[in-house]
Amino acid sequence: MDPFAMLGAPRRFDLDLSALEKTHRELSRALHPDKFAQAGASERRAALEKAASVNEAWRVLRDPIRRAEALFQAEGLAVGETNEPKASPAFLMEVMEEREALADARAARDLAKVKALGAGVSARAKAVESRLTAGFAGGSPSRDELAALLPLLGELRFYRRFLDEVEAIEEEAEERALAGARGVSP
């Protein structure tokens, strides 16, 4: 399934997600099972399958990592952590230092530090997304140009996991605060 074709979107990294969401809603409404209640079994099944494909296309295109993967796959490049080039030693060292700093901030319950680390990683993730936008822009990039973009997926995956962990720490802190306000020990 080509998620771009499914939602009538141009095959590029930078998409207007609000317009795409509107298209998704319209297609979902048109394919809603209630609209096919009186149809035959095969027509109902086809509409349900198409609705599932529309939903999956929306999930792919709204996620920067999955959107980039779809673009690489459309050009015949294998993606996934086992197929992509290994990260540079410098990046791996940076990752290790960021993780250690986050672990220290979590242990110290230093929410300001956690938020600052999250903001820094979020800015780097946006910079990587900008590089992907530029790399996929301007017509059809060559296979070598695309291959040079592949390591950015690994970076985005690290940033996503890191930001997920920041969010979990923030939720823990919020739960501790709520428990403390209720007089319950966390």
Per-residue model confidence as pLDDT tens digits over 82-135:
888 888 899 999 999 999 999 999 999 999 999 999 999 999 999 999 999 999
Whether 184 has a pLDDT exceeding 70, the answer reads no
What is 3-62's CATH topology?
A: Helix Hairpins (1.10.287)
What are the backbone angles phi and psi of residue 166, rounded to the nearest 5°? -60, -45
Equal CATH topology for 3-62 and 89-181: no
pTM: 0.85
Whether 20 has a pLDDT exceeding 80, the answer reads yes
Tell me the two tokens of residue 143: 């296979």
Q: How far apart are CA 2 and CA 56, in angstroms?
A: 10
Q: Which amino acid is at 86?
A: K
Q: How far apart are CA 83 and CA 18, in angstroms?
A: 32
What is 89-181's CATH topology?
A: Monooxygenase (1.20.1280)
Q: Please state the domain extents for the chain.
A: 3-62, 89-181
**Separation in Å, CA 21 to CA 1, 24, 51, 118, 177:** 18, 5, 14, 27, 35
- 36-60 b/e with 16+ CB inside 10 Å = b? beeeeeeeeeebeeebebbeebbeb
C-alpha of 175 from chain center: 26
